[in-house]
Structure 1
Amino acid sequence: MSILYDEEQQAIATESRRVLEARVNKDELLPLLEATGAYHQGFWATAKEQGWTALALPEAHGGLALGLVELGLIAHQAGRTLSGAPFLTSNFGVAKAVALYGSDAQQTRWLPGLASGETIGAIAFSDGADALPAHPGATLAGGRLSGTRGGVTGGLAADVAVVLAQENGAPALALVDLSGIERIPVQSFDNSRCIADLRFDGAPAELLIAGEAAYEAALHILALQAVVTAHEQTGGAEALMEIARDYAVTRKAFGQPIGAFQSIKHRIAELYGLVELARANCIHAAAREGQDDFITAAAAARLSATEAYDAAARDCVQIHGGIGVTWEIGLHLHMRRARSLAVEQGNLFFWEDVLVDRLAGEAA
């Protein structure tokens, strides 16, 4: 695929941006920071209404049979407007896990609800800072799951989770109905992510895939989510770059716009470069889904998008000066989201290791 969108994809981007800018605003997002377990209901209702939850899923189960490129376009616009719920990414991850590795019965049970958005999914792979632990803390035995999965994004609201566990000492992916599961809220500086520790005490679970293939399957699902998250990060970085640019050409100091000073305009130019690199990596990664180099491309997109969003969040606040750190202007919403997304789906160290391992393997 060219690193350009066709007319239909551009139309998806334009319409999703119009809808989100009309329905998501800063005043609705600020209260979520102080409310554990709450998320922006309006965003999620819009995602369901517009069919975004079904975008990249099979038609046989209520999906629209588009792809990661189109879902990335929606995620990009969600990042621009600071979508107040993490479920677009987590629902996609769970649905892909079920579609790729689940039985016909599992697909029939779960995919229609995930496609419509009436069912919310969560991915529970990590142990602390370890995005894909070699020896997961949860164990699967006799169709029962035990153990705790910590820091699960969307865990407070999810109906179903895909959990990385151990079965007979080997990795396994288990599908768990979260009805009645104990959820321990995790306070964070971005509470709309609905993070929770999930405690399983012999909970009924269904096996998706086991053995060494389960670890590769988990990495694949994580990479799919990482590409969606990278688009969201790039959208946030793009929005911050534009906010910084607009402020720099209107705010005056010493009789001229502050954008006339080299320290400001060079910084904005650098942000433009970071955003465009991240955008290109995101499009390339999304277009490589199903190819041998997909994991490599996903890692590159994840790394460049994280750098772009972090730099944009930091520099935009600095360009604004004192007003940039006020509650009312809302730049801290992007700062908080940049930090949250930087650790979801694995941190920079994890993806750097993945990229190096893949490139070393190709070189060998």
Structure 2
Amino acid sequence: MSILHDEGQQAIATESRRVLEARISKDDLLPLLETSGRYHEGFWTTAKEQGWTALALPEAYGGLDLGLVELGLIAHQAGRSLSGAPFLTSGFGAAKAIELLGTDAQKQRWLPGLASGEAIGAVAFAAGADPLPARPDLTCASGHIEGRARSVTAGLAADVAIVLADEAGTPVLALVDLAGVERSAIDSFDNSRLIADLRFAGTPAEVIATGPAAHGAALQILALQAVVTAHEQTGGAEALMEIARDYAVTRKAFGQPIGAFQSIKHRIAELYGLVELARANCIHAAARADQADFITAAAAARLSATEAYDTAARDCVQIHGGIGVTWEIGLHLHMRRSRSLALEQGNSLFWEDILVDRLAGEAA
């Protein structure tokens, strides 16, 4: 596939940007930082109304039967506008796990709700330095899960979770109904992510993959989520680049716009390069979702998008100077989100290892 979108895909991007810019504002998002357990309901209502939750799911279960490319376009615009809920990514990850590995009964039970957005999904192994340990912390025995899943994004609101557990020394991937599961909210610097620890105490679970297949399936789900997150990061980086550019051509110092100084113009030019590299990697990865090299492409997209968003968040604040760190201007919203997204779906060290291992295998 070309790294350019076709007319239909461009229309999706244009319309989603128009809708989100009309419905999300900085003033809606700032109060969420000071409260645990709340998300921006306006964003999630919009996602459901627009059919974004159903975009990449099968038509037989209420989906629109499009793909990762189209979902990535929505995530990109969500990143630009700082969407105040993580469910677009977490619900997609849980739904794809059920679609790819679940039984017909499991699909009938969960996919229609996830497609409509009435049910919320979470993937409970997507955080930390090593989201796919050889020996998972959770244990599974006789169809029941024990232990604590830590720092689960969307965990406070999720109805169903996909977990990686250990069953007598063998990894298993399991589907867990979260009704009645104890949740401990984690007060973070980006509270709208609804991060929570989930405590399982003999919680019923349905195993959907076991052995090496469980690890492979978990990595596939993690990579699918990572591509969606990379699009969101790229959208945030693009927005910050434009904010920095606009400020640099209006703010004056020593009688001229600060954008005339090399220290400023070069930074903005470097941001442009990082954003475009991340964008190309994201489109490439999304287009390779059903190909053998998808994990490699996903790792590259994840790494380049993380670098772009982190750099843009830092440089945009510095270009603004003192006003850049004030509560009212809201640049810290992007700074917080860039750090949150850098840790979700595994950090950069994890994806660097994945990328190196894949490239070394291809070269062997």
- TM > 0.5 fold call: yes
Alpha-carbon shift at residue 49 of structure 1 (Å): 0.3
Letter in 1 for 2:299: A
| 8 Å contact kept, 2:128–2:346 | no
**Does residue 191 in structure 1 map to residue 223 in structure 2?**
no
| 8 Å contact kept, 1:127–1:133 | no
How many angstroms apart in 2 are the aligned matches of 1:351 and 1:225? Answer: 13
Alpha-carbon shift at residue 140 of structure 1 (Å): 1.1
Q: Map 1:99-178 onto structure 2 (within 5 A).
A: 99-126=99-126, 128-178=128-178
TM-score (norm: length of structure 2): 0.99
Alpha-carbon shift at residue 74 of structure 1 (Å): 0.0
1:267 alignment counterpart? 267
| 8 Å contact kept, 2:71–2:228 | yes
**Does residue 229 in structure 1 map to residue 212 in structure 2?**
no
Paired residue secondary structure (2:205): strand
Letter in 2 for 1:288: R
Letter in 1 for 2:363: A
Paired residue secondary structure (1:156): coil
How many angstroms apart in 2 are the aligned matches of 1:109 and 1:133? Answer: 30
| 8 Å contact kept, 2:127–2:346 | no
How many angstroms apart in 1 are the aligned matches of 2:345 and 2:41? Answer: 23
**Equivalent residues, number:** 364
| 8 Å contact kept, 2:243–2:316 | yes
Letter in 1 for 2:129: A
**Does residue 17 in structure 1 map to residue 17 in structure 2?**
yes
Letter in 2 for 1:272: Y
| 8 Å contact kept, 1:148–1:197 | yes
How many angstroms apart in 2 are the aligned matches of 1:187 and 1:135? Answer: 28
Alpha-carbon shift at residue 168 of structure 1 (Å): 2.2
Alpha-carbon shift at residue 136 of structure 1 (Å): 0.5
Paired residue secondary structure (1:304): helix
Alpha-carbon shift at residue 127 of structure 1 (Å): 7.0
| 8 Å contact kept, 1:126–1:149 | no
| 8 Å contact kept, 2:285–2:294 | yes
1:50-91 CA deviation, whole Å, 9 max, x = no partner? 000000000000000000000000000000000000000000
**Does residue 327 in structure 1 map to residue 354 in structure 2?**
no
Q: Map 1:10-89 onto structure 2 (within 5 A).
A: 10-89=10-89
How many angstroms apart in 1 are the aligned matches of 2:208 and 2:15? Answer: 36
| 8 Å contact kept, 2:128–2:343 | no
| 8 Å contact kept, 1:227–1:285 | yes
Kindly, what percent of the aligned residue pairs are identical? 81
Paired residue secondary structure (1:2): coil
How many angstroms apart in 1 are the aligned matches of 2:198 and 2:110? Answer: 20
Runs of 4+ in 1 over 3 A off after TM superposition: none
How many angstroms apart in 2 are the aligned matches of 1:335 and 1:341? Answer: 10
| Root mean square deviation of aligned Cα | 0.7
1:133-190 CA deviation, whole Å, 9 max, x = no partner? 1110111111111110000000000000000101221111110010110000111100
Letter in 2 for 1:348: S
TM-score (norm: length of structure 1): 0.99
Listed as ranges, the gaps of 5+ residues in structure 2 are: none
| 8 Å contact kept, 2:127–2:343 | no
Listed as ranges, the gaps of 5+ residues in structure 1 are: none
| 8 Å contact kept, 2:159–2:179 | yes
Paired residue secondary structure (2:27): helix
